[in-house]
Every structure is written in C-alpha cells, then in structure tokens.
Chain A
Amino acid sequence: MVSTSALDFRVPSDLAQIESIVAQVVHRCRECRFDPRQLSLNVPVALTEAISNAMLRGNGEDVAKEVRVRAEVSEARLVIEVEDEGAGFDLDACCDDPTTPENLEREDGRGLFLMRTLMDEVVRLDGAVNVVRLTLQRR
C-alpha cells in the first residue's frame, strides 16, 4: 500500500518564502525515495516557478495577498497545487517557445516552459482559474 502525506502552506506574496517551501517539499519527496535528479532539479525548479508565478503575476507581488501551496507526496507521485488570489490566466495562451532564435535572448518567458518540461503534467484546476496543479510521477 502506498501511503500519502500532505503539506499545506499559506504564505504572503514574499519571494523570500519560496526556498523554505521548496526545501520542505523536496525533503518529503526524498523520504518517498524520488530519483535524486528529480530532487535536485525537477521538483525545486518547477515548484519555484509555480510559486513565483503565483506571487508575481497572480498576486501582483502584493504582500497582503496570499499564496497557498498544497503538496501530496507518495511513493507513486507528487501532486502540487498552487493557488493565488488573482484573476487567473489561460495556460494555453502562454505557449511562446523560449528556445526559438527570436526568443532566445529574452530575459523572461521561460517559467511555464520549465514547469512543463520538468513536470509530467501542468494544468489549470477544473473550476478554479487561479489554481495550477503540477504532477510528477516518481522515478
């Protein structure tokens, strides 16, 4: 039987909060024997992107607005939901490829690309415009 543990954070839109949340989620994934590469690359980078996106774009870096991060970790997978207080955005509308020659020297535009590349699935939660769900199967 696969046991699942959950983490639940509510933090103000303060970028300094991100590393601590990431470290706790990575720690829980390590306990569930995720692949070392997933622990050092996929989880921290994708989760950092998701939280910073919620704080910067969702909440407009307004520290009075909160971001909620829920993580369910098992020996099968990691499922993270990141919720902000913004109006939401269309994930499919943000699909510029940052690796094309015309976009390569842009300073921004790689966050969603990295989330999608490093996670198995990145979706907007049904019925909630301001919640993004990231899923990573354990390897």
Chain B
Amino acid sequence: MTLDASTHGDVLVISLHGQLIVGNRQALKQRVLDDIDSGTRKVVVDFSNTGYIDSSGLGVLVSLAKRLRELGGDLRLANLNADLRTLFELTKLDSLFQIAESREQALAGF
C-alpha cells in the first residue's frame, strides 16, 4: 500500500493505493498523526484504489477519527467499493463515519 496526500483548503486528503491491512496500517496512522501535530483537523481518506481492509485497518480509521473529533475535527471516507461498504456495515462502523460517494462530496460536506 502506498498513499498520496494533498491539501484542499484546510482538509488533508489521503488517497490509498492498495489494501489497508495489518502490515501497512502504521504508515497511514503516522502520516495523519504527523499532520494532526502540524494543525490538521479535517481529513478525507479516499479508497478509490483499495480493494479491502482488515480489522487492523478499520481500527486505525477508528482511532484517527476519535483523535480528530477530540480536537474538534473529523475524518471522513470517500469512494468505498461494495466490499468496503459491506465491511463497514458488518462492523456497524458505517454509523461512526460519514461515508461519501466521492471525494468532492466529502470535501463539500466539511
């Protein structure tokens, strides 16, 4: 998994390329935590190029969202495929995140 980061106003957008799983979750976590330390409070994670996520990947998203909300911000998700949506529904994490159909929709809601 690799990730690209860009900023849109005050929103950090992270695009993942590959699966978000136990072996690489720390890369995403550290990248976002570093940006939080620099003042970022709004984050969108774009899953256009991700096939699946495991429980560790889900856990990192939960942890980062919790941290950002404690600081008055949020972490939102965009472009989930049907499998990813199923994972969020099975774990009921769809109730914890704002899930947008597109990056633009996620940005517009911030």
Contact = CB atoms under 8 A, between A and B. Distances in A.
Do A and B pair up? The answer is: yes
Contact of B22 (A37, A48, A98, A107): A48
Contact of B92 (A15, A16, A104): A104
A44 B110 CA distance: 33
A117 B93 contact: no
Contacts of A129: none
Contacts of A128: none
A19 B91 contact: no
B23 A16 contact: yes
Interface residues of A, number: 26
Interface in B65-110: 66, 82-83, 86-87, 90-93, 95-96
A110 B25 CA distance: 15
B59 A110 contact: yes
Contact of A45 (B63, B87, B93): B87
Interface in B2-18: none
A107 B54 contact: no
Contacts of A15: 22-23
Interface in A1-36: 15-16, 18-19
B45 to A, nearest CB: 16
B49 to A, nearest CB: 14
A107 B21 CA distance: 13
B96 A41 contact: no
A114 B51 contact: no
A104 B54 contact: no
A41 B55 contact: no
A106 B92 CA distance: 12
A108 interface: yes
Interface of A: 15-16, 18-19, 37, 40-41, 44-45, 48-49, 52, 56, 98-99, 104-111, 113-114, 117
30 contacts: A15-B22, A16-B23, A19-B21, A19-B23, A40-B52, A40-B83, A41-B52, A41-B87, A48-B21, A48-B52, A48-B54, A52-B54, A99-B90, A99-B92, A104-B93, A105-B96, A107-B59, A107-B60, A107-B62, A107-B63, A108-B55, A109-B55, A110-B55, A110-B58, A110-B59, A110-B91, A113-B55, A114-B54, A114-B87, A114-B90
7 tightest Cβ-Cβ pairs between the two chains A and B: A15-B23, A110-B55, A107-B59, A41-B83, A99-B92, A52-B22, A111-B55
